[in-house]
Amino acid sequence: MEISSGQLAGLPVIRLAGELDLMTAAKARDAILAALDECPRVLVLDVRDLTYIDSAGVGVLLAGWQRARNQGGKIVLLAPQPTVKRILSIAGLDEAFPACADEEALLRDWVVGCVVKDRRS
């Protein structure tokens, strides 16, 4: 698994590439929770290159979702692969993690003039 961080139009981004499973879950959890320590209203998880996720990986996403929710924020998935979307749907979590097909959709739906939209539900 490769994990990197950055920003896109002022939004914090964590990029997850490869397989998110029992062997990589702790590292991914640490990266996501560290990014949430800054209390962003929106944390983007760029998962376009995430090829596999198991129950440990789903647990990582849930830990991040809970932390973000407790802080009044959201986690948005950027370009999830069909397999990732399917696993989240099977787990009943597709509603918890809004997804954007690409960066253009992310900017349109979550950012206006570099000010984060309030898309809380």
Q: Which domain holds residue 85?
A: 2-116
CB atoms within 10 A of CB 110: 22
Would you say residue 6 lies in a domain?
A: yes
pLDDT class for 112, splitting at 50, 70, 90? Answer: low
Q: How many domains does the chain have?
A: 1
Q: How far apart are CA 32 and CA 44, in angstroms?
A: 10
**pLDDT exceeds cutoff 60 at 121:** no
Q: Between these two residues, 114 and 69, which has the higher pLDDT value?
A: 69
Give the mean pLDDT of 90-110.
92
Would you say residue 121 lies in a domain?
A: no
Environment class of 35 (CB within 10 Å of its CB; exposed 0-12, middle 13-18, buried 19+): buried
Would you say residue 93 lies in a domain?
A: yes
CATH assignment of the domain containing 8: 3.30.750.24
pLDDT of residue 111: 78
Would you say residue 31 lies in a domain?
A: yes
Q: What is the largest CA-CA distance in the chain?
A: 39
pTM: 0.89
pLDDT of residue 115: 46
